Amino acid sequence: MNRRAFKGLGVYMLLLLIGLAIYYMVVNREKDVYKDYDNEKLMKDVQNGNIDEIEIAQNKEVPTGKVYVSYVDGSEVIYYTSDVNETYKSIKEIVGNNIKVKLDDVEKPSLFQKFAPYIFALFLALIVLFIIMGQNAANVAASNGGNKYMNFDKSRAKKDIDTGLTFKDVAGMTEEKEELNEIVDFLKDPTKYAEMGARIPKGVLLVGPPGTGKTLLAKAVAGEAEVPFFSISGSDFVEMFVGVGASRVRDLFADAKRNSPCMIFIDEIDAVGRRRGTGLGGGHDEREQTLNQLLVEMDGFGNNEGIIVLAATNRVDILDPAIMRPGRFDRKVAVNNPDIKGREEIIKIHTRNKKLSEDVNIHEIAHTTVGFSGADLENLMNEAAIRATKLERKFITKEDIDKSFIKVGVGTEKKSKLISEVDKKITAYHETGHAILFHELSEVGPVHLVSIIPTGPSAAGYTMPLSENENSHVTRKKMLQNIMVEFGGRIAEELIFDDITTGASHDIKMATQAARDMVIKYGFSEKIGPVNYETNDEGEVFLGRDLGHARMFGEVVASEIDAEVKRIIDDCYKAAKSIIMNNMEVLHKGAELLLEKEKITGEEFDKLF
């Protein structure tokens, strides 16, 4: 039992004792009366010479009373009598003057005697009530950092004296760490910058997709500089009560000034830093007041007071322009998905405390995880460790990582799912059609793994390519080949079964979107030309944009765009169909091998050619 629970139990025990005391004083004060003693027994004791003195006390309103009998040996008996006068006469007749018999007048207790037990009980109850109220207040203060009803306008930032992280714990971000080294140096020694007349940026905005390590990098900066780290989410500022968010911003910066030099980190700043004056909230909602106060506070502290504000977001496009100007968030640091070298470094960090077998090649894992973020890689190695533990092994094997890669990438394989032979055959030809195009086309392959084992919610199989290079630019040729690959499964079904299924619906969707992006977004269409006709249809109201959004082109251009998208789709479909028809023997052999083994590697598939 913990200390707080023990104190609570003590209070309830005290209440129980007080209740028993009140019951004893008020209700059960006559428990010393002998129920089986009467006048007949008294006469016997008088005749035997055991009685020394008898005193009869009358009740106030009725002729009843109590008889106090004192024995020669010093003991005493008390019993009730129904008629005081009759009892007195009968006792006097028997005992005569040998024993002192006294009849008292009706007792009239004082007011203090009458109400003292009740006053005492009330006094104890009030004491217990104050104890309980004080204990509840202490509990709330301990759990919420103060009374939650009185301190709801205070900052909810979490303060860490030591984050326990440095740049050594951050991999795959060489340039990002170099850029933030200036911030670390300033936090360690701000005076030398002041002597030179230099102004260190007040704020740094970390921009990048989810899972790339923005929060980790911020903690590493504070740990490297050895300064207090105040962390808070943008949504923690905004409340339903008007003015609470602004008050929390003021309190946060006041606390930071008391702990200078220090660092403030605001995660998901887009929750409070969205563009003002747009959407359904107008210009006077609580979120905008909070943003205004944040802008004022960042202008309010001096250039070299020793406070650095870091913020993270993956939606920099919806931030208010005022938050991006010099003097607020002076710098933007892009934190993108790691390249192959960065992935290799990240995997080494996430396997420091894990035992790997000899067949695990970290460079190969980094090569096959193109597009993975740092969080994805951590999840991959964690899933591999979980699988090895379930199989009661002391180390992680290559098989564990491969199985986890499939689980993370396309979903858990459902080997127990019952599938008809017809569906298996259709899936085998479908996936082989994709694999042939991956093998034959230069910009999209080669094949890494082909499977007809169902995965995820609805996928009947999958074909996984192995990217040999990581180009930051996507060429027109690569986009066209990606569209061709999407149609590989549908074309195989059409050639073999003289029919098509719904299994290619997702492939068609992806191909159509890619073709439309080529025309209206990237200017890859020779007929339309290098003109951007892209419109933002992703819920402008909720992204801080205008309530309505007009299309930027007319009906004639819209028809031309549709016709060009259709032309690209048709050309890619014909080119893909020609390639598969030239490799019909491989199509049959690949499908047969898949039906036999359910899963084949890229090396096994290459041998079919």
**Residue stretches of the annotated binding site for ATP:** 208-215
Which three-class secondary structure state does DSSP give residue 576?
helix
Can you tell me the distance from the alpha carbon of 440 to that of 442, in angstroms, rounded to the nearest whole number?
6
Whether 281 and 236 have beta carbons less than 8 Å apart is answered as no
Q: DSSP letters along 178-219, please?
A: HHHHHHHHHHH-THHHHHHT----SEEEEE--TTSSHHHHHH
Tokens of 123: 């006094």
Find the radius of gyration of the CA atoms of the chain: 43
Can you tell me the distance from the alpha carbon of 350 to that of 209, in angstroms, rounded to the nearest whole number?
20
167 Cβ contact list (under 8 Å, min separation 6): 177, 220, 224
DSSP state of 106: P
Can you tell me the distance from the alpha carbon of 93 to that of 91, in angstroms, rounded to the nearest whole number?
5
The residue assigned the tokens 């850029």 is 179
Question: Cα separations (Å) of 215 from 233, 261, 311, 509?
Answer: 11, 20, 9, 35
- For residue 408, the one-letter residue type is V
Torsion of CA 493, 498, 503, 506, to 10 degrees: 80
Q: DSSP letters along 385-410, please?
A: HHHHHHTT-SSB-HHHHHHHHHHHHT
**What is the edge-to-edge ordering of all strands in the sheet holding 51-58?**
76-81, 65-71, 51-58, 100-104
Query: End-to-end distance of the chain based on CA atoms, in angstroms?
Result: 71
Can you tell me the distance from the alpha carbon of 59 to that of 67, in angstroms, rounded to the nearest whole number?
11
Which three-class secondary structure state does DSSP give residue 444?
coil
- Would you mind telling me the total number of residues written for the chain in this entry? 609
Which three-class secondary structure state does DSSP give residue 312?
strand
Q: Is 431 a catalytic residue?
A: yes
Catalytic residue among 431, 440, 486, 564: 431
Closest CA to 598 of 431, 437, 466, 464: 431
Can you tell me the distance from the alpha carbon of 200 to that of 4, in angstroms, rounded to the nearest whole number?
48
- For residue 146, the one-letter residue type is G
Alpha helix segments (H runs only) across 281-440: 286-300, 340-350, 362-368, 374-390, 398-409, 421-440
Question: Cα separations (Å) of 451 from 4, 424, 590?
Answer: 58, 11, 11
Q: How many CA atoms lie within 13 A of 34 on its CB side?
A: 13
- Residue ranges at the known binding site: 208-215, 430, 434, 507
Can you tell me the distance from the alpha carbon of 593 to that of 447, in angstroms, rounded to the nearest whole number?
15
Can you tell me the distance from the alpha carbon of 86 to that of 82, in angstroms, rounded to the nearest whole number?
9
Asked if the bond preceding 261 is cis, omega within 30° of 0, the reply is yes
Can you tell me the distance from the alpha carbon of 307 to that of 191, in angstroms, rounded to the nearest whole number?
13
Residues designated catalytic? 431
